[in-house]
A and B are shown apart, each in its own frame.
Chain A
Amino acid sequence: MTPGQVSVQLAPVLHRPSAYQRLVTAHGALRVNLTLGLLLAVIALGLIAPLLPLPNPIKPDPFNSLKPPSAEHWFGTDPNGFDVFSRTIHAIRTDFALSISSVLLGVLIGVPLGAISGYLGGVIDNLINRVSEVIQGFPQLLFGMAVLAVAGNTLVNVVLITAFYNVPVYAKMVRSVVLPLRDVEFVQAARLSGNSPLSVVFRHIIPNALLPVVSQFPLSCAYAVQMIAGLSFIGLGVQIPIPEWGAMIQQGANYVVFSKWWPSVFPGLALVLSVSLLSSLSDQLKVLVTRRA
């Protein structure tokens, strides 16, 4: 047998299906394409919102307040006379930017923390674990309110407090990936060939935790959007006139009893759509994690 033949025989075995192909095999093309397509469409819509021929989302029109949906104002107007459709589209920018940045921050802190805690074990591990549990049992929204009341109601603080809740999620996840890897051969080899503990953790262990982190990411964003919208709904975080779904729902809330539903219903629908797309993406991505294990 010549080496050439061997490589020909091995080729089909070495071929690994792409992540997308594996998603399609597991869930069917329709579901995967629908989720990805819609989510990308929402994000794209948010990105190009300023270029679209939409009414100015922050220009009040007091003479046209609370007008029901019409050809001119597709989603009607709110109590300030803002165009609800334009604001709903522009709010994609606010909500996605805030939630993605807060989850990213949580990942950036949580991943190394979890890796170190799993790799070192012992007291530090125990401490980080207990603190994570306590944080996860906290009433998130209430604690967020308290912190914003003390530290000041700024968008940066909203992002920080949302990130704070994501830290234990990722720390725990990475820890559970790192723990069984501690004494695996390739890690021992890396350690024995003189790598410092830090470089072992960051270059050899953390890459293995990438897939679970990626599959959790959209779900965390979904929760973050809900948290940010909830805070804005009670007047914290995003302030009028910046378009944001939670704040928009709040603007219309007092008029729902008078059957003027449109200022609250449409931004809420956008919120529900985004959250459910993000969480079903997370759901579908989990296949990638379990397949490999």
Chain B
Amino acid sequence: MLASARSWGIYLLRRLVYLMVSLLGVSIITFSATRLLGNPVYLLVGTTYTKEMVENMTRELGLDRPVYEQYARYMANLLRGDLGQSRYTFNPVVVDIQRRLPATLELATYSLLLGALWAIPAGALAGRYRGSLFARLADFIARTGVSVPNFWLGLILIFLLFAAFHLLPPPLGRIAADASPPPAITGWYTIDSLLAGNLNTLWASLKQLVMPALTLAFTTSPSLFQITRNTTEAVYSTDYMRTAKAFGLSPWTITRYALKNILVPVLTMLAMTYGYLIGGTVLVEVVFAWPGLGLYAVDAMNHADYEPIMGVVLLSALFYILVYLAADIINSMIDPRIRMEGI
């Protein structure tokens, strides 16, 4: 018991070191992208500039200092939570991001849940009954999901559900124009409406969520479906499952054994999908005028404002790494083999 606890500790410690290394890598990449690929000075001075302006701006940004010193300053700012300032909203990037993060989180979370709701049961069934009509159909749907670009699917849904059949309100933002957003507590319109006890707002915000969440669920769930199907199939053809069946264990017990083994890869994929979604909603946010991080980055881009984009990039990368870590830790709780890696 003691040895296993110690090896678990070593495992967690190693994960944390990886986390640090990944974060360092992320910061180095974003730093080099802004400093080495182009000269941000020219973005800041505009199209008509004098040599003097360029020199002043270079000094102001510290770009005349050696690279390691620039990086140290960049890191120091990051650690203080300073991501720079947006040059068209005039807010610190951190403030803008805080304001817009709930919109993206809400959309990403509902998309993930919606995708998982279909992909995990369907994947389990398709893995259990490989070659069945259902398995083929589900496989076809998953393949389509991979091939369809999300921004285009979003437009198709707008055409079908709004323009042609008027089943849903105009696809503009998080809540219909004739309803007002709920009082901000969490920033999640669905949760805030519930907290305020206002079912009309809840209904109005859910109706806005349907199309973007369906779009993202359909295009991000295929990998979840495939991993569930493949692991289910692999687990059910193992020796221990055959033995369990031969021993006459109840179907319930057998399913429980199987689930425990299927869970680990599925959880990892869920985490990866969630991590991907935070940075992957950009185009869908553009299509549905969803005022989240992606739209913020696109707006910034249209104003030649690079610091907000870098801020969003950093945040999404950080989110991805953290979700992945969380999945690793949960997995090590489920599967003792993972936490014994340390020995």
Once A152-B38, A229-B149 are accepted as A-B contacts, the answer to whether A256 and B163 lie under 8 Å apart by CB is yes
Any B CB within 8 A of the CB of A4:
no
Once A145-B298, A264-B152 are accepted as A-B contacts, the answer to whether A137 and B324 lie under 8 Å apart by CB is yes
Residue of B nearest to A147 (CB): B33
| Residues of B within 8 A of A (CB-CB), count | 56
A145 touches B148 (CB 8 A): no
The minimal Cβ–Cβ distance linking B83 to chain A, given in whole angstroms, is 12
- Interface code B68-91, partner A: CB below 8 Å = 1, 0 otherwise? 000000000000000000000000
Q: Which B residues touch A130, using CB under 8 A?
A: 21-22, 25
A265 touches B156 (CB 8 A): yes
Q: Which A residues touch B280, using CB under 8 A?
A: 139, 141
- Interface code A274-293, partner B: CB below 8 Å = 1, 0 otherwise? 01100110000000000000
B312 touches A142 (CB 8 A): yes
Residue among A151, A236, A246, A257 making CB contact with B301, cutoff 8 Å: A236
Cα A274 to Cα B153 in complex, Å, equals: 16
Q: Which A residues touch B105, using CB under 8 A?
A: none
CB within 8 Å: A-B pair count: 155
Residue of B nearest to A130 (CB): B21
Q: Which A residues touch B186, using CB under 8 A?
A: none
Q: Which A residues touch B278, using CB under 8 A?
A: 139
Cα A230 to Cα B324 in complex, Å, equals: 25
Residue of B nearest to A283 (CB): B143
Any A CB within 8 A of the CB of B317:
yes
Any A CB within 8 A of the CB of B164:
yes
Any B CB within 8 A of the CB of A143:
yes
Q: Which A residues touch B309, using CB under 8 A?
A: 142, 145-146, 149
Once A276-B143, A279-B147 are accepted as A-B contacts, the answer to whether A257 and B38 lie under 8 Å apart by CB is no
Residue of B nearest to A143 (CB): B313
Q: Which B residues touch A140, using CB under 8 A?
A: 279
A235 touches B302 (CB 8 A): yes
- Chain B facing A: main interface SS: helix
Any B CB within 8 A of the CB of A259:
yes
Once A146-B310, A147-B37, A257-B170 are accepted as A-B contacts, the answer to whether A226 and B149 lie under 8 Å apart by CB is yes
Residue of B nearest to A273 (CB): B147
B155 touches A264 (CB 8 A): yes
Any B CB within 8 A of the CB of A234:
yes
B306 touches A149 (CB 8 A): yes
| Residues of A within 8 A of B (CB-CB), count | 46
The minimal Cβ–Cβ distance linking B172 to chain A, given in whole angstroms, is 9
Residue among A222, A234, A265 making CB contact with B286, cutoff 8 Å: A234
Any A CB within 8 A of the CB of B236:
no
Any B CB within 8 A of the CB of A177:
no
A142 touches B152 (CB 8 A): no
Any A CB within 8 A of the CB of B117:
no
Q: Which one of B43, B151, B310 has the highest number of Cβ atoms from chain A below 10 Å of its Cβ?
A: B151
Residue among B170, B310, B312, B320 making CB contact with A137, cutoff 8 Å: B320
Inter-chain pairs besides A139-B316, A265-B156, 14 sampled, C-beta below 8 Å? A135-B29, A139-B320, A141-B282, A142-B282, A145-B298, A149-B305, A151-B33, A234-B282, A249-B149, A253-B287, A272-B147, A272-B152, A276-B146, A279-B146
Give residues in A with beta carbon < 8 Å to B. Answer: 130-131, 133-135, 137-143, 145-152, 222, 226, 229-230, 233-236, 246, 249, 252-253, 256-259, 261, 264-265, 268, 271-272, 275-276, 279-280
Between-chain CB contacts (< 8 Å), 17 pairs? A138-B26, A138-B316, A138-B317, A139-B316, A143-B33, A226-B149, A230-B149, A230-B283, A233-B286, A234-B283, A249-B152, A249-B155, A252-B155, A261-B155, A272-B148, A276-B146, A276-B147
